Structures are given as C-alpha cells and as structure tokens.
C-alpha cells in the first residue's frame, strides 16, 4: 500500500504501529518512507551493511539474520518512494531490540548517497518511538571509537558516551557504548 495524496489511512503492522510512515524527503526532494522489513529486503540490507562498514565490522549473512530474528528485535527500512522493484530504492535500515526496560540499537546503515539528508535521523527517531511504546526507558548502542561522524551524529541525537569496551570489534577495535534516556520512570 502506498501513501496517496490526501489519504490519512495507515496500514497497521505487527506491533500495532504503522507498517509505513508518512513520507519524508532526502537530497532536497526525493521522498522516502519508513516501513517494516520484508523478507525480500534481506539481500539488499546485507549488501548495504557490507558497503557501510569495513570487513571487520560488517555482519556476515548469518550474523545479520540472527540479530534481525532475535526475540524483541525489529528492522525498519527507509525506502525512496516510487521504487517498484524490491530493494531498488532502499536508502537505509535500522535493527533494534527491546530488552525489558532497555533498548539496543544493533545497527543503523544508510547508503552513501543518502547520508546527511535525514534518512538516518528518521530511522533512529522511528526506532526510538517504537522502543518507547514498548516500555523502554533507555537505549544503548555501540560505535567504533574511530567513527567520528557516527559519534557526532549520536551526540546530536542526545546520546552520551557511557564507557569504552576494549576489543569489542573482532578483538581488534574498541567501541564506545553510548546511551540515551527515552523516558523517566515515575517516582514512586
């Protein structure tokens, strides 16, 4: 189902939230939508992950499938509107999971052509909303210590560095664990 001008109807997904969201724009005018992952997307998402990260950081096919299938996990896809061929217009994706009252961003990948154009921000925002609706009060993620662009992005989105984990990536590269509070617990 595609959004049509003037229509407000939204198809409901597995968790009662829209399976796609209203259109946003990247690159000054190309509309995109955020939708739930579909099985046919997997190969495209894996290729995007391979392009976004060097081999020591990128997931193998089995690893990526494992994280996407974990209990409490969900995958959202940013897709350029008007793409009729599956995978042809995918701009990026995010994999996240709930762990009781905490959430975890497993990966967020955006194709080079769509970076710094709001795709990553849209994916992260929708994932945080989904986590919050699931009762999550704080979310964490890991990023390589040498990925200055990612660190700036997450800090701009309200994340702060909690700690450094030595050898997190294949025992060779350290990671920063960054966290963000989504909602305050009621004082009781």
How does pLDDT run across 19-50, given as a tens digit for each residue?
344 445 444 556 889 999 999 999 999 999 99
Domain count for the chain: 1
Task: Classify residue 5: in a domain, yes or no.
Answer: no
Task: Kindly state the average pLDDT of the residues 47-60.
Answer: 91
Task: Classify residue 71: in a domain, yes or no.
Answer: yes
Task: Classify residue 35: in a domain, yes or no.
Answer: yes
Candidate from 11-15, 99-103, 108-112 with smallest mean pLDDT:
11-15
Task: Give pLDDT, residue 2.
Answer: 31
This prediction's pTM? 0.81
Task: Classify residue 13: in a domain, yes or no.
Answer: no
Task: Give pLDDT, residue 105.
Answer: 98
Task: Classify residue 46: in a domain, yes or no.
Answer: yes
Q: Domain holding 64: CATH number?
A: 3.40.630.30
- The domain in which residue 69 lies consists of 24-137
Task: Classify residue 183: in a domain, yes or no.
Answer: no
Round to whole Å and give the CA distance between 50 and 46.
6
Q: Is the pLDDT of residue 76 over 60?
A: yes
Round to whole Å and give the CA distance between 105 and 157.
13
Task: Classify residue 186: in a domain, yes or no.
Answer: no
Round to whole Å and give the CA distance between 93 and 2.
19
- Among candidate residues 88, 69, 66, the one with its CA nearest the CA of residue 77: 88
Candidate from 77-91, 103-117, 125-139 with smallest mean pLDDT:
77-91
């Amino acid at each position: 189902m595609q959004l049509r001008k003037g229509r407000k109807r939204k198809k409901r997904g597995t968790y009662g939230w829209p399976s796609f969201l209203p259109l946003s724009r990247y690159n000054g005018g190309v509309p995109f939508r955020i939708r739930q992952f579909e099985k046919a997307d997997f190969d495209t998402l894996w290729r995007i992950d391979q392009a976004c990260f060097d081999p020591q950081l990128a997931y193998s096919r089995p690893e990526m499938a494992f994280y996407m299938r974990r209990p409490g996990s969900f995958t959202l896809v940013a897709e350029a509107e008007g793409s009729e061929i599956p995978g042809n217009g995918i701009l990026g994706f995010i994999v996240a999971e709930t762990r009781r009252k905490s959430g975890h961003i497993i990966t967020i990948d955006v194709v080079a052509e769509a970076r710094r154009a709001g795709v990553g921000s849209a994916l992260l925002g929708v994932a945080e909303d989904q986590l919050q609706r699931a009762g999550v009060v704080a979310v964490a993620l890991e990023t390589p210590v040498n990925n200055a662009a990612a660190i700036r992005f997450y800090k701009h989105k309200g994340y702060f560095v909690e700690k450094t984990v030595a050898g997190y990536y294949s025992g060779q590269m350290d990671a920063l664990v960054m966290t963000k509070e989504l909602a305050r617990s009621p004082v009781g």
